């Protein structure tokens, strides 16, 4: 469509009016004034048909004019309502299909036995120790929470100029918490394995008294007068919040208003995202663990890039109350740690219903670090593992093949009898429209106000563009994308009838998109290093609310390797 001739321009403007779009999408005051009072006509409907993917006759268009004019009034009324990002839609997503039974029996988790080591000559030698070791040392009073907190705060200040992973230090809060945890321990009160352990929060979690910026200029000064549920639960577990860590703008990528968060293994490279800061800070030994979030790869991707262990829980396992909403039916909060067992400890502290996030179930998490692998049915995506490193055209097809083949050999040595399974064939890309629409709705007011122009990234693949594009997806197609999603959920439910856990190349096929749509959990762990020193990863997938078996299988693999024990030399 050309906009340089008057008839075409009128059709173009009428098209925007028919869709109920704000004037912020169009350049120039003149255009804005025209659109504000543009008339909906058969001609403007014809212009809209092209993007909507439908075609009507002239008579059909004339019949729609009056109703669309009334619909425009409805949209104007809707746009006049201010909706907080925290307000969910009335329709709730549940990954559980009819007939699925949920184990709600709550039993204590069983962890490995870790003895407290001797205090090293320099406290910074503890910077990369897993939570399990730090917890043993705190409980044995070999080190104090205050000493650990001060050490991590110092490292955050010293290395953030390089990594650009810190949005806000929570120094006053952290020091007060650490002192309180030491005092409790002195009185004989021990809250559990997270008692006194310093951690970092992705800056989409509300923390009272501190900014919650969502990584973007329009919300840079935003504050909430409450704590997110996950923050409250970690407080209750005795963990010490030391910093709010960066996320790519509105949970995309690693670029935020403070720069690009770096990969500690290669600091001229971004850390990936959107849990950019949590992965970078954990990898560089600036926190003992962090909380990230994933909608479509935001734990998986930075965990891979930074060589840390990430756990994306089942959708509905962890309350999202107090977290920025991007997609109400796909957002998930989870830990980023140095080991699988650390992830299990953190998940145990943050899981379960809070009475506010209505998508959450009180499902059992009976993790047992000592459970024999023989009790867990483990499958693997045979086709994805067998793909050649390069295709017939010479282009990369399976860039991590040598690492993935080595992983299968490790599992064989562990006595695992892998069951070959296949990724169900389904229209995953079509169902992905769900995310586009929900993200556009979550930031509808930002788009219509024109403040999306304040965001740092303004490229074709950035959120401001995507939010605008989402307005062109018909509501009918959003509903049908969700119906397609149901068929995908049914296919994956059938797949998990034969296995409890599936091993897959992290970038194998459509697994990442598929499992974020179905709500299945995943563990992403380091699995070797490329010639340039950067990490690669391996992914374990679990059944819905099957994190116990998932973590046990992934932990066994991790204990048979040592990739998680290696750290970037520049920050050691």
User: Got the DSSP string for 258-324?
Assistant: TEEPEETTEEEEE--SSSHHHHHHHHTTSSSEEEEEESSSTTHHHHHHHT-EEEEPPTTSS--TTB-
- What gap in Å lies between CA 474 and CA 477, rounded to an integer? 5
- What gap in Å lies between CA 206 and CA 424, rounded to an integer? 38
Nearest to 283, CA basis, from 301, 298, 305: 305
- Can you say whether the dihedral through the CA atoms of 245, 246, 247, 253 is positive or negative? negative
Q: How far is CA 175 from CA 145, 167, 207, 242, 487, in A?
A: 9, 18, 16, 8, 50
- What gap in Å lies between CA 226 and CA 228, rounded to an integer? 7
pLDDT of the residue at 37: 52
- What gap in Å lies between CA 402 and CA 400, rounded to an integer? 6
Give residue limits of the domains in the chain. 123-426+480-571
pLDDT of the residue at 303: 98
The answer to whether 480 and 88 are in contact (CB under 8 A) is no
pLDDT along the chain (572 residues), means of 10: 36 39 35 51 92 92 93 90 94 96 94 94 97 98 98 98 98 98 98 98 98 98 98 98 98 98 98 98 99 98 98 98 98 98 98 98 98 97 97 92 98 98 97 96 96 96 94 94 97 98 97 98 98 98 98 98 98 94
> Token pair for residue 43?
């001609």
Tell me which DSSP letter residue 143 carries.
S
pLDDT of the residue at 353: 98
- What gap in Å lies between CA 321 and CA 233, rounded to an integer? 12
> Token pair for residue 51?
């993007």
Element at 185 (helix H, strand E): helix 171-186
End-to-end CA distance of the chain: 57
- What gap in Å lies between CA 277 and CA 308, rounded to an integer? 12
> Token pair for residue 139?
């409980």
- What gap in Å lies between CA 47 and CA 2, rounded to an integer? 12
The answer to whether 133 and 392 are in contact (CB under 8 A) is no
- What gap in Å lies between CA 243 and CA 254, rounded to an integer? 17
Pairing of strands 501-505, 378-381: parallel
- What gap in Å lies between CA 59 and CA 357, rounded to an integer? 47
> Token pair for residue 129?
């120790």
Element at 340 (helix H, strand E): helix 340-350
> Token pair for residue 98?
């009819």
The answer to whether 203 and 324 are in contact (CB under 8 A) is no
Who contacts 73 (Cβ-Cβ below 8 Å, separation ≥6)?
none
192 Ramachandran zone, left/alpha/beta (phi>0; psi -120 to 50): left
The answer to whether 380 and 113 are in contact (CB under 8 A) is no
Nearest to 210, CA basis, from 237, 247, 244, 249: 244
Instruction: Sort 474 into a burial class: Cβ within 10 Å, 0-12 / 13-18 / 19+.
Output: middle
Buried b (16+ CB within 10 A) or exposed e, 152-169: bbebbeebbeebbbbbbb
Q: Which residue has the tokens 């770096």?
A: 262
The distance from CA 569 to its chain's CA centroid, rounded to whole angstroms, is 27
Q: How far is CA 447 from CA 38, 71, 187, 432, 471, in A?
A: 20, 20, 54, 21, 10
Report the topology of domain 123-426+480-571.
Amidase signature (AS) enzymes (3.90.1300)
pLDDT of the residue at 133: 98
Q: Cis link prior to 370 (omega < 30° from 0)?
A: no
- What gap in Å lies between CA 433 and CA 466, rounded to an integer? 11
pTM of the model: 0.92
């Amino acid at each position: 469509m050309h906009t340089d001739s008057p008839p075409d321009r009128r059709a173009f403007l009428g098209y925007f009016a028919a869709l109920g779009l704000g004037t912020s999408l169009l350049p120039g005051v003149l255009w804005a004034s025209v659109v504000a009072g543009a008339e909906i006509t058969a001609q403007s409907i014809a212009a809209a048909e092209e993007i909507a993917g439908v075609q009507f006759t002239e008579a059909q268009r004339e019949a729609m004019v009056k109703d669309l004019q009334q619909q425009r009034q409805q949209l104007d009324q809707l746009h006049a309502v201010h909706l907080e990002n925290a307000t969910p839609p009335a329709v709730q997503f549940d990954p559980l299909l009819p007939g699925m039974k949920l184990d709600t029996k709550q039993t204590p988790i069983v962890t490995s036995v870790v003895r407290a080591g001797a205090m090293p000559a320099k406290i910074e030698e503890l910077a990369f120790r897993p939570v399990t070791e730090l917890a043993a040392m705190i409980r044995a009073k070999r080190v104090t929470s205050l000493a650990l907190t001060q050490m991590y705060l110092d490292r955050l200040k010293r290395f953030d100029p390089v990594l650009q992973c810190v949005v806000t230090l929570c120094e006053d809060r952290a020091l007060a918490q650490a002192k309180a945890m030491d005092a409790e321990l002195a009185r004989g009160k021990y809250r559990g394995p997270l008692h006194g352990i310093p951690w970092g929060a992705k800056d989409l979690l509300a923390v009272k008294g501190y900014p919650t910026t969502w990584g973007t200029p329009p919300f840079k000064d935003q504050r909430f007068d409450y704590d997110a549920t996950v923050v409250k639960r970690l407080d209750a577990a005795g963990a010490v919040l030391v910093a709010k860590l960066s996320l790519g703008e509105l949970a995309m990528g690693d670029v935020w208003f403070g720069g690009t968060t770096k990969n500690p293994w290669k600091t001229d490279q971004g850390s990936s995202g959107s849990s950019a800061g949590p992965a970078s800070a954990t990898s560089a030994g600036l926190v003992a663990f962090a909380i990230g979030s994933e909608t479509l790869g935001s734990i998986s991707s930075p965990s891979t890039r930074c060589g840390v262990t990430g756990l994306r829980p089942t959708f509905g396992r962890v309350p999202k109350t107090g977290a920025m909403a991007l997609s109400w039916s796909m957002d998930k909060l989870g830990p980023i740690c140095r080991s699988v067992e650390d992830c299990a400890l953190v998940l145990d502290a943050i899981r379960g219903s809070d009475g506010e996030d209505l998508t959450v179930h009180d499902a059992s998490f009976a993790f047992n670090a000592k459970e024999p692998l023989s009790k867990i049915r483990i499958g693997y995506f045979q086709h994805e593992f067998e793909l050649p490193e390069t295709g017939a055209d010479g282009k990369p097809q399976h860039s991590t093949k040598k690492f993935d083949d080595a992983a299968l050999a490790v599992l064989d040595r562990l006595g695992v009898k892998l069951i070959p399974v296949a990724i169900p064939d389904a229209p995953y890309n079509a169902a992905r429209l769900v995310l586009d629409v929900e993200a556009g709705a979550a930031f509808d007011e930002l788009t219509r106000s024109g403040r999306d122009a304040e965001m740092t990234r303004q490229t074709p693949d950035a959120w401001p563009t995507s939010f605008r594009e989402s307005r062109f997806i018909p509501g009918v197609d959003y509903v049908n994308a969700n119906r397609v999603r149901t068929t995908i959920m049914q296919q994956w439910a059938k797949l998990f009838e034969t296995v409890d856990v599936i091993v897959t190349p992290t970038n194998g096929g459509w697994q990442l998109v598929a499992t974020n749509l179905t709500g299945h959990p995943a563990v992403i762990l380091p699995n070797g290093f490329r010639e340039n020193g950067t990490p690669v990863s391996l992914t374990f997938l679990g059944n819905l609310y099957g994190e116990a078996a998932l973590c046990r299988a992934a932990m066994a693999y991790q204990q048979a390797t040592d990739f998680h024990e290696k750290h970037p030399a520049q920050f050691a």
